[in-house]
């Protein structure tokens, strides 16, 4: 979580600097594309603050109303980030572009437009490199798309997608400003604003979908689930591992519920020792499993299966 905060802080610092410079130039030049980029950076700044808030609140301890803790709150705030990108960044940028497309205004561009956008791209690249280093440390052999789809920590890939959209958006704004001045057509600048808006909408859709999956109770990574099952099945006291259900309660918090058929035991103490051994083994290899429930079923069939819950 500490490394995730470092990535978010880096994104926050860059977004503040970029947003201020873009808005000043947008006011001076009247550029719709530059204003769209300014709105884009303002939204990114707010989103970084929301992610930090979510990270802080998700660390609160359990209490009677929330016995499983508050880890899911991070997923809620990441969903809010996606909604804010859609409503404030994407929709407003498109609205601004359409307005200028219908009512073109004279532009007053200068070389400072390209300077600010160039610096914006450079700073976003630095933030992107920091975030990508963290992703490369975590993703193993997986590709970027696969990592985003299976990641349980939305903070890092949110910053990556935001930085990528910043770079693409700034490049679109730079091109639209150049074309509008080259052909003396302010509608090209407005078209740039619309394109920037669609880039933001695309990123917000990806973030919203990933956050939705996590909020609905996404399972732990399939590879980890299979390894947990093999680990439990390898115990000498286990006959068969039945249904193994997991749910992600936060980036580093997993709930595990498993049904196990145990080999015949002559005493209940033997069964209890086996269950204790299984719990210790799971927590040793998978410390992220904070909640573990074992449905223990004896294979001694007298009047029926004897079921115990641990």
Q: Quick one: which of 53, 43, 90 has its CA closest to 75?
A: 53
Please classify residue 236 by burial: count the beta carbons closer than 10 Å to its beta carbon, then call 0-12 exposed, 13-18 middle and 19+ buried.
exposed
Tell me which residue has tokens 């990108």: 85
Please classify residue 106 by burial: count the beta carbons closer than 10 Å to its beta carbon, then call 0-12 exposed, 13-18 middle and 19+ buried.
exposed
Model confidence pLDDT, tens digit, residues 33-45: 777 778 878 888 8
pTM across the whole model: 0.79
| Furthest-apart CA atoms within the chain: distance in Å | 90
Residues 196 and 174: beta-carbon distance below 8 Å:
no
Domains identified in the chain and CATH numbers: 2-215 (1.20.1510.10), 222-309 (3.30.70.1350)
DSSP 257: E
Model confidence pLDDT, tens digit, residues 246-288: 999 988 899 999 999 888 765 777 888 888 999 999 999 999 9
What phi-psi label fits residue 289: left (phi over 0), alpha (psi between -120 and 50 degrees) or beta? beta
Give percent of the chain above pLDDT 90: 27
d(CA 30, CA 207): 31
Tell me what the mean pLDDT of segment 190-204 comes to.
92
The two three-digit tokens of residue 210, written as one number: 């990933």
Model confidence pLDDT, tens digit, residues 207-259: 999 999 888 889 998 889 999 999 999 998 888 999 999 999 988 899 999 99
Tell me what the mean pLDDT of segment 175-201 comes to.
90
């Amino acid at each position: 979580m500490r490394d995730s905060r470092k990535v978010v802080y880096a994104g926050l610092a860059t977004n503040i600097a970029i947003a201020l410079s873009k808005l000043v130039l947008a006011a001076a030049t009247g550029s719709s594309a530059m204003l769209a980029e300014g709105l884009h950076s303002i939204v990114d700044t707010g989103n970084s603050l929301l992610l930090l808030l979510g990270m802080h609140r998700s660390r609160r301890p359990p209490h009677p109303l929330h016995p499983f803790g508050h880890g899911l709150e991070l997923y809620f705030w990441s969903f809010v980030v996606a909604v804010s990108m859609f409503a404030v960044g994407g929709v407003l940028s498109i609205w601004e572009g359409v307005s200028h497309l219908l009512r073109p205004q004279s532009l007053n561009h200068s070389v400072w437009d390209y300077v600010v956008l160039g610096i914006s791209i450079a700073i976003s690249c630095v933030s992107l490199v920091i975030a990508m280093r963290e992703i490369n440390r975590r993703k193993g052999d997986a590709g970027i798309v696969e990592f985003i789809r299976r990641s349980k920590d939305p903070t890092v890939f949110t910053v990556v997608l935001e930085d990528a959209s910043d770079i693409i958006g700034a490049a679109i704004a730079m091109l639209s400003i150049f074309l509008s001045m080259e052909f003396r057509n302010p509608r090209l600048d407005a078209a740039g604003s619309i394109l920037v808006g669609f880039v933001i909408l695309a990123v917000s859709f990806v973030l919203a979908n990933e956050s939705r999956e996590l909020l609905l109770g996404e399972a732990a990574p399939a590879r980890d689930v299979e390894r947990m099952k093999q680990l439990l099945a390898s115990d000498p006291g286990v006959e068969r591992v039945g249904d193994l259900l997991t749910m992600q309660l936060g980036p580093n918090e997993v709930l595990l519920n498993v049904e196990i058929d145990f080999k015949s035991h002559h005493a209940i103490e033997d069964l209890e020792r086996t269950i204790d051994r299984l719990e210790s083994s799971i927590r040793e290899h998978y410390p992220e499993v904070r909640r573990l429930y074992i449905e223990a079923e004896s294979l001694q069939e007298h009047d029926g299966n004897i079921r115990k819950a641990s």
